[in-house]
Amino acid sequence: MSVGRSIAKQILLGGLTQFLVSLRGLIIMPIIVKTAGESVFGAYILLSSIVVFIAGISSFGTNYAFRRELPSTDTGSQRCALLMPPLTFRFFSTAAFAAVLYFGSPAFFALLGENIPFSPEYLIIWLLGLTLQEKATDYYRYTSRFGIYNLLTLGQIYIHIGATIGVVLFWHDLSLDTLLLLQGSSLVILSLPTLILGVFRETGVNWPQFQWQKFWADARVGLPLTGEFIVDFLVAFGDRYLIGLFLSLAAVGQYQSSYALAGLLAFLPKVLGTVLPPPLCRLWDEKKHQQAEQLVSNALRLFLVVAIPFTAGALIVGPSIVAALTTPEMAFAGRWAIALIAVGMMFYGITILLSSVAFVTRQTSVIFTANLIAIVGNVALNLVFLSIWPTVTVPAAVSAIVYGIAFSYALYKVRKHFSISFHWSSLIRSILATLVMSAGLCATSYMPGTIGSTDLPAIGLTVLSAIIGYFAVFLLIGGLPTADRAALALLIRQYRN
């Protein structure tokens, strides 16, 4: 199978996996809101963001060489030499952060003026689980075994969902402590055996032989990626803290309900950002630059063909979906936020693809700078406008603006070394098909920014009809060229075989 068809197959399987991952928010959100309330849901979101943030910065860039060089290795000893130094460093840094988390997290809600008790030790279990999962999934991702990678990613999530539903059905109502314990335990249960019986069995375990000069040199290259994560995290989650500060934990829950739906759009670029780096590394290292550029341009076209109608659908049907999953009050509060966040997710998705390019071409500082611009704009605009208009629509609009700025800057910088095509003819056809789809939705009594029917089966049928109608029109007006149709048909035959 050629590189292109192999990657396309991985995207199809990874897309299904990431879509199921993205559904986690829509599944878990109504369970928490309707069982524990908006404030507990808001507290859970804020605490989860703290743990994810700490897990994301704990490597301080020391995992860059492991990720970048692993796709080109062939033996267990080579992989062990790459794995052990950053893994050892990570466990020491995680231990230090665990102490900070245990003693510092209770003071967080005191700053917000909220009093929701929880057990900090459950946050440590969660942090450990994230560390173990990252190492296991990184190993299988960068050795191009996406089947195991997808299984690990998906398995943890649905173990967590199943356990949460089980607690609600057979035990008692959810508390914040129960939510935290279930989240951490589901990570550890799956990732620890995988790391020991899977990764270590292939690589072996030994005390790392640190070549300190090379170790810190690689860490310096990877450090901008940690900085990029910090800034990207603040852009993605910083508005929750500002909402909690200016509004309330209940408002955090209202915003998150809109974000959980609009955030579904990020599933495809996350798949592409997972699948593309290993083959891009090989193509770039083998001087096959044109193939690498074509691969990224096709991925960008695929994402935008999905993102454009999704954003229109979020504007028209989004409030009704949120009302059906949570409460009409929560949906009304975020009726405009859903579409605005979807616009931000579209720019964010393109930035993810540009991040893959920057990773491969060693332009890591570009993504850091782009996100730094975004976070400065995010904080500044929210501080100004939330004090004037205390509504969850404000941070949603700000997210669209700042992600647009980040995308523009990253594209300008990356294009100097890497050619990217937007396939404008395909995008124009996508816009035309979206207009037809939107007219059909409005004809069924769904209007922008309003709450229509909240009957889930009826909404599901409407959304399915809109999707079918969009792609039918898109194909009818030539959205899929002959060459693409032939490649897709070949891919389907290969997958069946």
Is the Cα dihedral 471, 475, 477, 479 positive or negative? positive
Reported as a single tens digit per residue, the pLDDT across 142-181 is 787 777 877 787 778 888 888 888 888 877 677 888 888 8
What is the predicted pLDDT for the residue at 139? 83
Asked if residue 339 lies in contact with residue 469, where contact means CB atoms within 8 angstroms, the answer is no
Distance CA 108, CA 106 (A): 5
Asked if residue 487 lies in contact with residue 8, where contact means CB atoms within 8 angstroms, the answer is yes
The DSSP letter of residue 326 is S
The DSSP letter of residue 75 is S
Give 62 or 403, the one with higher predicted confidence: 403
What is the predicted pLDDT for the residue at 446? 84
| pTM metric for this prediction | 0.63
What is the predicted pLDDT for the residue at 496? 44
The most confident of 8-12, 112-116, 255-259, by mean pLDDT = 255-259
Reported as a single tens digit per residue, the pLDDT across 6-32 is 555 555 555 555 566 666 766 777 778
What is the predicted pLDDT for the residue at 491? 41
The DSSP letter of residue 265 is G
What is the predicted pLDDT for the residue at 432? 93
Q: What is the 3-state secondary structure (H, E, C) of 102-161?
A: HHHCHHHHHHHCCCCCCCHHHHHHHHHHHHHHHHHHHHHHHCCCHHHHHHHHHHHHHHHH
Distance CA 89, CA 95 (A): 10
Looking at residues 68-94, what average pLDDT do you find? 80
Asked if residue 21 lies in contact with residue 263, where contact means CB atoms within 8 angstroms, the answer is no
What is the predicted pLDDT for the residue at 482? 59
Q: How confident is the model at residue 336 (pLDDT cuts 50, 70, 90)?
A: confident
Average pLDDT, the chain: 78
Distance CA 354, CA 348 (A): 10
